A and B are shown apart, each in its own frame.
Chain A
Amino acid sequence: MPEYSDIELVELFRIADKKHYAFNLLVRKYQEKVYYFVRRMVVDHDDSDDVVQNIFIKVWNNLESFREDSKLFTWLYRIAVNESLSFLKSKQLRSYLSLSSPEAMTVKSLRDDPYFDGQEIQKRLREAIIRLPKKQQLVFNMRYYDDLSYDEMSEILGTSVGALKASYHFATKKIEYFVTSN
């Protein structure tokens, strides 16, 4: 499969008879990054699958009007963040109706996750992450797992670099405490 840059993919997508081909390449290029980012936020595989599909459908609907003043990767991440947060919000509303706390539900699905193949310490790390406030979760995942720079994170989340550094610092401290204290 040929390697296209993001700009080439967007240009290819704008050609009517190459649209599907370009989209296929784009999905293949980013599907794993997007999936694992969503999975860390949403926890459950089936929910993550739904969210990932919604993200790429949004990409399909809006890529033609994508303005190249930001990177495709950053734009894609922004969609992923928004979709994940909307999903978690709707899940939170559902959990109020079912009279159980959203955090308890997420921890339960984390413990019952059939697609988790890690050690106990890794499970504890995941549990510590999902107990963080959503913004801190996002910042921690982007920095710790996806190795994004603060500038990229700032562009995606629309937050100052200083605030992101503070957020990350507090997140790591809380996680270290949770993982080591048990």
Chain B
Amino acid sequence: MKIQENIPGQTNDTEQLSLILEKLREEVQALKVPVGYFDSLNPRIIDRIQEQENRSFSKRLVLSFRKPLIWVPAFATVIVAVLLVFTIPAKKVSAIQSVDEWTEINMAYDASYAEEAVFAESITIDKELANSVLPNNESLTFPHKEPTADEIKAYLKEHETETDILNGY
């Protein structure tokens, strides 16, 4: 049974539409899209393509590591590296840390450093006395006599000279 015989008027490309369908066809496109939709479509497609290509690259990488030809040498390299790290002795670091130049200068220049040092020393002596580490109080007396006025002046003069050098910094 031929279709052309059953459907008169539908056998060529110029079929007749009803008036209402003809009218609706000519009307303005009623389907809308968000503003700028067609401008943003291409970049979004490109983004998705790049995402897909990145995914397939990592997938290929994972698959390639399943081949023994790839993972055996890689594994061997890692083992050798680990052995090297643990077998080569580490360079010894000096236990005594050197004091940098500025710290030394500050210690010499700032009087509070000296005071703290004297204070710390006196606490230690007090503790030792309390614990009777020292034999008797006589041993604590200073053997030398009191300095004379000239000696003090000479000492101060010498000290002043040193601090003048420090002032240059």
Contacts and interface: CB of A to CB of B under 8 A. Distances in A.
B36 to A, nearest CB: 13
Interface size class of B (residues with CB under 8 A): 20 to 34
Given A45-B34, A169-B7, A176-B21, A24 B48 contact: no
A127 to B, nearest CB: 13
A169 B21 contact: no
A45 B33 contact: yes
Interface residues of A, number: 41
Contact of B49 (A36, A60, A122): A60
Contacts of B42: 24, 27-28, 31
Interface stretch (A5-13, A77-85, A113-121): A113-121
A18 interface: no
Contacts of A24: 42, 46
A179 B20 contact: yes
Contacts of A165: 3-4, 7, 10-11, 15
A117 B30 CA distance: 5
Nearest to B2: A162
Contacts, number: 94
Interface in B6-58: 6-7, 10-11, 13, 15, 17-18, 20-21, 24-25, 27, 29-34, 37-38, 41-42, 44-46, 48-49, 52
What is the interface of chain A mostly: helix, strand, loop, or mixed? helix
A156 B7 CA distance: 23
A150 B13 contact: yes
Interface string A54-92: 001100100000000000000000000000000000000
B39 to A, nearest CB: 10
A117 B32 contact: yes
Interface in A15-45: 20, 23-24, 27-28, 31-32, 35-36, 39-40, 45
Contacts of A32: 38
A149 B15 CA distance: 12
A18 to B, nearest CB: 15
Contacts of B32: 115-117
Given A24-B42, A53-B45, A166-B10, A118 B21 contact: no
A165 B45 CA distance: 36
Interface of A: 20, 23-24, 27-28, 31-32, 35-36, 39-40, 45, 49, 52-53, 56-57, 60, 115-119, 121-122, 125, 144-145, 149-150, 162-163, 165-166, 168-169, 172, 175-176, 179-180
21 contacts: A27-B45, A32-B38, A35-B38, A36-B29, A40-B31, A45-B33, A115-B31, A115-B34, A116-B31, A118-B27, A119-B27, A119-B30, A122-B30, A144-B21, A144-B25, A168-B15, A169-B7, A175-B21, A176-B20, A180-B18, A180-B20
